A = this chain, B = another copy of it.
Amino acid sequence: MPKPQMPPAHPFDTSHLRDLGHDDKLHEECGIFGVVGVADAASFVALGLHALQHRGQEAGGIVTHDPEQGFNSARRFGYVRDNFTSKSVMETLPGPLAIGHVRYSTAGSKGQTAIRDVQPFFGEFAMGGAAIAHNGNITNANALRRELIERGSIFQSSSDSECIIHLMARSLQRTIPERMEDALRRVEGAFSVVAMTRTKLIGVRDPMGVRPLVLGQIGDGWVLSSETCALDIIGAEFIREIKPGEMVVITDKGVESHFPFRPRPSKFCIFEHVYFSRPDSILGGRSVYETREGIGRELAKESPVEADLVCPVPDSGTPAAIGFSLESGIPYAMGIIRNQYMGRTFIEPTEQIRNMGVRLKLNVNRALIRGKRVVLVDDSVVRGTTSRKIKEMILDAGAREVHFRIASPPTAWPCFYGVDTPEREKLLAATMSEDEMTRHLAVDSLKFISLDGLYRAVGEASGRDAGCPQYCDACFSGEYPVTPADMVEKGFQVKSAAE
């Protein structure tokens, strides 16, 4: 069996770009948004994607349908605000029905993305066209791809999501929603999908509901979005979350709900609470901000410390730092200032600029920090590279003590459900205990919130149900709710699959 040979295209040669001072974080790989029943749907989608930009900054795409002008699409590299706001582009996207997608940049780490990898994907079937946009990851994509190629399908992208379109094309079912059900039943992994035909807006969450998807209403129109913050920007009302395993088919007659999959225990991604979702989004009835503040409070209870100041590592550590301060009574202060003009990438930087690293992005408030005992609150430690540099900057500014408090448990396992994680060996917590990490980072103390503490903070009063955890927490526990088949085939050792 020859290995896949898809030639990388180079529509934009980005090899001269370098990520510098980029945060050492896990990253959500996609945001999705769809709307039906409004005039100029594409403008709403553009605004929604702008509000979801934190879920993917590399590229975005919109597909629309207009009764007279049929399907239209645009796919671009770069920010929504730069690509999908001008009249000249938006006029090419007419109609009352549209879906869109933003995508995380993996440039530099995993090679280059071609414009043909940018979603939504479109397929023309015998009964008409359909477009789909996908947030998540198909864990048996390689096997599906091989099978489809054997049968004569031609893949045009390197995206796992393209499998869905080919499965739909070959389905024996007669309508597009039925074909989508048929296709998604063959798919393993985590997925939230928005799709559209000429007349329908469709939303689906995988049976475990790993990735988010919410339903909103605006006038007579309906909206699907990864997060509620994108409903706010267009003034839509938040109706409810799409349920795990639910498919909604929205037409001008309203919202139909189906549950086409075998029921599974719910496993929503707990990291959405910790970091991925925007603090002004609502998850489980509470603002993500409040949950994070609660994590900070929980952390202060679990791992108190004598100190003069609580400072967040900006910006993601801020709500937990506020919570830690409120609980502990230690004053909250902005000890580290983020340069808001820092972009993600630099064009072939000079040696000198490359060496600056995190200093391009963060600066210590030296006059404030000098002589103080400082609690630094961050959301997570991934590779630990940034944590180490921040500690050095803080000490260099004259802090007396540095105590790290981390608003998540040790990240010891990679995610295979739509999050960009380093290989396991590069995760600091995969190779070191908390004590070893404390010595490695050379800080006065380093404490992570416990897994139970995190569950309490997200609203599970009695903590984690070890028998059947209420969330997907594989990145902390190594317990993967779905076996990552493609990765296992490549040799990845799963600790234990909950399946």
Question: Using a CB–CB distance below 8 Å, which chain A residues touch chain B?
Answer: 1-2, 4-11, 13, 15-16, 40, 43-44, 46-47, 50-51, 53-54, 57, 63, 70-76, 79-82, 85-90, 92, 115-116, 122-129, 131, 146, 149-156, 165-166, 169-171, 198, 229, 232-233, 235, 278-280, 282, 285-287, 289-290, 293, 315, 318-319, 322, 326, 331-334, 337, 339-343, 346-350, 352-353, 356, 359-360, 363-368
Evaluate contact between B289 and A368: CB separation under 8 angstroms. yes
A71-B5, A149-B126, A366-B282 known; A315-B340 Cβ under 8 A: yes
Chain A contact residues: over half helix, strand or loop, or mixed?
A: mixed
**Closest 8 A/B residue pairs (Cβ):** A7-B71, A287-B367, A152-B170, A5-B129, A53-B341, A280-B337, A152-B169, A43-B352
Evaluate contact between A343 and B81: CB separation under 8 angstroms. yes
Shortest Cβ gap from A366 to chain B (Å)? 7
Evaluate contact between A75 and B9: CB separation under 8 angstroms. yes
Shortest Cβ gap from A231 to chain B (Å)? 10
* Chain B residues, CB < 8 A from A126: 1, 146, 149-150
How many identical subunits does the complex contain? 4
* Chain B residues, CB < 8 A from A57: 341
* Chain B residues, CB < 8 A from A73: 7-10
Shortest Cβ gap from A277 to chain B (Å)? 11
Evaluate contact between B348 and A87: CB separation under 8 angstroms. yes
Pull 17 A–B residue pairs with CB atoms less than 8 Å apart, ordered by A. Answer: A7-B73, A11-B76, A13-B89, A15-B88, A43-B353, A47-B352, A51-B339, A81-B343, A85-B349, A152-B166, A232-B366, A280-B365, A287-B365, A287-B366, A290-B368, A293-B333, A319-B334
